[in-house]
Structure 1
Amino acid sequence: MAIAPFAAWPVAGVAAAVATLLGLLSGRYGYHRDELYFLLAGQHPALGYTDQPPLTPLVARASVALFGDSPTGLRVVPALLSAVTVALVALLARELGAAARGQLLAACCAACSAAVLAVGHLLSTTTFDLFAWLVVCLLVLRLLRTGDGRWWTAIGAATGIALLNKDLVLLLAAALVPAVLALGPRRALRGWWPAAGLLAAVALALPNLYWQAAHGWPELTVAGGISGKDGPHNRLLFVPMQLLYLSPVLVPVWVAGIRRLLTEPALRWARAFALAYPLLCVLVLATGGKPYYALPLLLVLTAAGCEPLARRVAAPGRRRTGLAAWLAFGAALNIVITLPVLPPRLLPAVNWIYPEQGEQVGWPELAAAAAEGWAAVPPDRRARAVVFAANYGEAGALARYGPRYGLPAPYSGHMSLADWGPPPDTANGPVLLIHPDGYADVEKEFTDCHVVARVDNGQAVPNQEQHAPVLLCSGTTAPWSALWPELRHFY
């Protein structure tokens, strides 16, 4: 099957528009809790971390060094990756037989999707994951279309790099391989090239695999905790989120993509992707994973559906303004929901749909509340006092904004922060404790606690830290070294 030339300039224009929009909005609100954690983790470079491989924290460290120590500097890479993701969806459409109009439509669909916009605004493991999955899917399509086994080495290399960011790419392999076995072309799985690809993936992922093995595979503990805690909720929302995470306006496009892959003879070689998506959904549901794990394959199906839609719109007598208006409506809705365009005080209107918006508000105020509590510590006891945060977002905020108030470096037992503690046992003075409102379990490890301040983000945004108590405790129930295993937690 011959493929059309790449519509480079029109697609580049859409990608540039996405990057420009994300760049202009990147400094609004503030850091997300995960970004504060990545900045903190980047100051402790390692081959792996309790809850993730090393790539994202290291990129966070490099980003602020290259582009400036600010939310805008941190978010340059996500904005560029989202722009490239738009181009990748157009390339997927091209691989699946789309001419220039179909490729441009695919780029526009990606640009207006909530997933692409959301991950382009924040530095997160999901930003790299979406990009990496689409790269792997493009390479797999090239392998299936050409039958050239040498593509396996590129697939393996891309998978190995993806594993340095997140292990979720293994779900893609677990869905695609059975789909190819079931629907073909099976010749792509024969010979020694698949083994070469596997070796390439393992070789690139080996540093993190070594770290995880040496530390007892903590990522599995984290995954199990997430599944146990959020699994029922994730399963309940899975189907609705498949309709919402891209955009409801794109549902007819990816449904058409499934139909096209299953029925169009010229795309018989790509049918496995129509089966891989429901297989992936089953895997995510079975493991209690988050609904967005299936989104990359949904973008592949969207790319598959763009060519027939582009042909219909281009037919004589058909109006093109209707499709453009429909996509613009979807884009506008997703921009309001996922990007920082609203005044912070209006965030409750969208925060119930996309709570990550609210997690970008209130971190300086948290540090100010902690400083108010620190002022209650007698000056002669501060040398032996400890600031303890219940989660990595709070710890990251205190590390970031605390020095302006004279606060010491915080400690926490959450995720990888537990590996960087505990405080010395000689730190046996008062403890300034910060934890989310309603999370009082942690208080049982401390003595004589009383509230000395409360966090107020000043915008009435109902995020995790709004109204969080700042407590002053006289000390701990045991030395820090003995207490630390009890304070460590993974979710």
Structure 2
Amino acid sequence: MSRDGGLRRPGAGHPNPDPVVAGDSAPQPGLPPFARGPVLTVAALVTALLVALAGRYGYHRDELYFLAASRRLSVGYPDQGPVTPLIGWLGHAIFGDSLVGTRVLPALMIGATALLAGLMARELRGGRGAQALAAGTVAVSAIALQTGHLLSTTTFDLLAWALTSWLVVRALRRGGRSWLWVGLSAGIALENKMLMAFLLVALLVGLLLAGPRSALRDPWLWLGGLLALVLWAPWLVWQFAHGLPLLTLSGSIAAGGSTSSQPWWLVVPFQAVLVSPLLIPVWVAGLVALWRGRELRLFVVAYAVLLVIFTVTSAKPYYVCGLYPLLLAAGAGPTVEWARTRVRAVLLAAAVALGALVNVVLMLPVVPVTALASTPITDVVPDVGETVGWPEFARTVAGVVAAQPAGTVVVARNYGEAGAVERFAPGVPVFGTQNSLGYWGPPPESARQAVVIGFTPAQLERWFTGCTPAARIDNGVGLKNQEQGRVVSVCTPRGSWAELWPQIIYVG
């Protein structure tokens, strides 16, 4: 072991090298003491920061969608499993029906992810400094701060990947029933998002190519995999019963249909900003340490496999983010060793502090909303702009509805628009055409007039008639986002809703 617990090659400099084979009867050397104080302090601080800023700006369009889904809990949805809507329901049940109440559980999840990073550093023989650095670098990372501020499938996914990675490391060293914990963690994650399946496949490829292959002979590993599959089965059954809409969604993402979609060639370069450009050396050191340590080389192979898969499929570049807690934990020990001199320690502290400052300004709502339009923040992070203006949007749409005859409904093209009306104008009947909202049914046939929003002129011409512009969306702060400047129209559907609805709804 290095002085602060960096990874060792098996058998190097220690009379009792770590066992690397599942079921090995050789005794394991004791782990370093858990740095309870520093790690828990980091976890508590990042949680407190996220909760303190939870009420600023407003809901993200995805949050409005998840909250709508939380009011319609189901075993499956076309674009996700039931976990995130359930988290939204629990958040409101425990902390109240408010923006802050929505975001407390995500904040706690990021604190837990930082805690797991410290535990992973300890599992990798990292000492007190390495554990604290691992937790700290995860806590200040761009992806943790951005997703920890929102109710998002990615927030839970980040935590689930970190937990599963930690459990895999432990199972490789302990074997046996330890694999059941891996299966439990992975199975729950699969009920949130399918990305965990890619991690499991990548790790299996890593075992085959880099070992330890003897783990594949452990029947408990396969029982753990079976447990994960059983837990995933309800959502899989739902998907097959509904024609696998997730495949349609994947095609839409690859075609650039999401705010966070990026060209395929950006998948690899984008990894530079998921933590912080200043902290790249830490997770690169983690890749090197994992490779040199041999016993956990499968994670390096898995990381490469995931980058290839997500590049070839034009997936979102952040999909691999769940591996960074492990990479930062693996790199923390070597980084602390490198920073033994005063100058290097100052450089490391400055990198963490400056990275944290930049990430906080970009990812969290610290700039006054009235000044946001004059900054480049939404150009760098477009999702920030999608948290501004929803109450104003709903008031505008509701005002148009109030001026129409009784029985008029709202038909919104995307789930953010529909979710905003449902959240901020609860008395207005609203129907959305995207993803789950399309599955929740068409308007009643008695509704022969609709206030529509988000449709292109060609779509209005195809599905509606007699469209008259009635208002224009203005968020009041001059911020350009997806909704700013959109026209609200009053239209009549071309035919019955039952006939039109299958044409109008979409997954994307």
TM-score class, shorter-chain normalisation, is over 0.9
Distance in 1, matches of 2:83 and 2:333, equals 36
- Structure 1: gaps (5+ residues): none
1:190–1:442: structure 2 CA closer, same or farther, 3 Å change rule? farther
Kindly indicate which of the two structures has a greater share of residues assigned to helix.
Answer: 1
Q: Which amino acid aligns with 1:237?
A: L
Distance 2:229 2:457 in 1: 40
Q: CA deviation at 1:210?
A: 2.2
Q: CA deviation at 1:191?
A: 3.3
Structure 1 position 485 matched with structure 2 position 508: no
After superposition, what is the alpha-carbon deviation per residue over 1:94-148, rounded to whole angstroms, capped at 9, x for unaligned?
Answer: 22221111111111111111011111100000000000011111111112233x1
For each residue in 1:340-364, what CA deviation from the matched residue of structure 2 results, as whole angstroms up to 9, or x when unmatched? Answer: 0011133342011111111110001
- How far residue 299 of structure 1 moved from its aligned partner, in angstroms, is 3.0
SS in 2 for 1:5: coil
Q: How far off its partner does 1:462 sit?
A: 1.2
Equivalent AA in structure 2 for residue 301 of structure 1: L
Q: Contact conserved, 1:390 with 1:442, CA < 8 A, in 2?
A: no
Q: How far did residue 314 of structure 1 move?
A: 3.1
Match of 2:366 among 337, 341, 345: 341
How far residue 443 of structure 1 moved from its aligned partner, in angstroms, is 4.6
Task: Give me the whole-angstrom Cα distance separating, in 2, the residues matched to 1:233 and 1:396.
Answer: 25
Query: Which of residues 487, 490, 504 is equivalent to 1:472?
Result: 490
- 2:98 is matched with 70
Corresponding residue SS for 2:114 = helix
Tell me the CA shift for residue 238 of structure 1.
1.5
Residue number in structure 2 paired with 1:400? 423
* Equivalence for 2:44: 16
| Aligned mates of 1:351, 1:269 — CA distance in 2 | 43
- Measured after TM superposition, the shift of residue 441 of structure 1 is 2.5
Offset of residue 376 of structure 1: 3.5
Number of residue-to-residue matches in the alignment: 476
Choose the corresponding residue for 1:329, options 354, 357, 371: 354
Tell me: CA distance 1:97–1:486, structure 2 relative to 1, closer, same or farther (3 Å).
Answer: same
Q: Report if aligned partners of 2:253, 2:316 keep a CA contact under 8 Å in 1.
A: no
Distance 2:416 2:461 in 1: 18
1:116 paired to 2:144 = yes
Aligned to 1:367: 394
- 2:319 and 2:371 map into 1 onto residues whose CA distance is 29
Quote the offset at 1:319 in angstroms: 5.3
User: What percentage of aligned pairs have identical amino acids?
Assistant: 45
Instruction: Give distance in 1, aligned partners of 2:340 and 2:460.
Output: 62
> Residue 159 of structure 1: CA displacement?
0.7
Q: Secondary structure at the match of 1:314?
A: coil
User: Displacement, 1:371?
Assistant: 2.5
| Equivalent residue number for residue 241 of structure 1 | 270
Question: What TM-score, normalized by structure 2, do the two folds share?
Answer: 0.90
Give the CA deviation at 1:36: 0.6
**Pair 1:388 & 2:417 matched:** no
Counterparts of 1:187 and 1:34, CA distance in 2: 43
Q: Which amino acid letter does the alignment assign opposite residue 271 of structure 2?
A: Q
Aligned 8 A contact 2:409 2:431 in 1:
yes
- Aligned AA (1:382): A
Residue identity in the other structure for 1:415: N
2:454 is aligned with 1:431: no
Q: Which residue of 1 aligns with 2:224?
A: 197
- Please state how far the C-alpha of 1:10 moved relative to its aligned partner: 0.8
Q: Is the contact made by 2:262 and 2:317 (CA closer than 8 Å) also made in structure 1?
A: no
Q: Which amino acid aligns with 1:333?
A: V
- Give the alignment's Cα RMSD to 1 decimal: 1.7
Q: Which residue of 2 aligns with 1:80?
A: 108
Distance 1:108 1:464 in 2: 34
Kept in 2: contact 1:159–1:201 (CA 8 A): yes
Q: Within 5 Å, which residues of 2 pair with 1:136-147?
A: 136-146=164-174
Alignment of 1:18-97 (within 5 A): 18-97=46-125
The answer for the alignment partner of 2:334 in structure 1 is 308
User: Matches of 2:257 and 2:87 in 1, distance apart?
Assistant: 28
Q: Is the 8 A contact 1:254 1:304 kept in 2?
A: yes
1:50–1:218 CA contact under 8 A, matched in 2: yes
Which residue does 2:465 correspond to in 1? 447
Matched, 1:420 2:446: no
* Separation (CA, whole Å) in 2 of partners of 1:229 and 1:358: 18
1:91-240 matches, within 5 Å, as 91-146=119-174, 148-229=175-256, 233-240=262-269
2:379 is the counterpart of 1:352? yes
Whole-angstrom CA distance in 1 between matches of 2:300 and 2:240: 35
Asked if 1:320 is matched to 2:340, the reply is: no
Corresponding residue SS for 1:448:
strand
TM-score of the aligned structures, taking structure 1 as reference length: 0.93
Larger deviation, residues 191-200 vs 334-343: 191-200
Do the aligned partners of 1:260 and 1:304 also contact (CA within 8 Å) in 2? yes
CA gap 1:443/1:433 in 2 versus in 1, 3 angstroms = farther
**Aligned partners of 1:17, 1:439: CA distance in 2, in Å?**
49
8 Å contact kept, 1:392–1:414? yes
1:442 deviation in Å?
Answer: 4.3
Quote how far apart the aligned CAs of 1:160 are: 0.6
Which SS does the other structure have where 1:75 is aligned? helix
Displacement of 1:440 after TM fit? 5.1
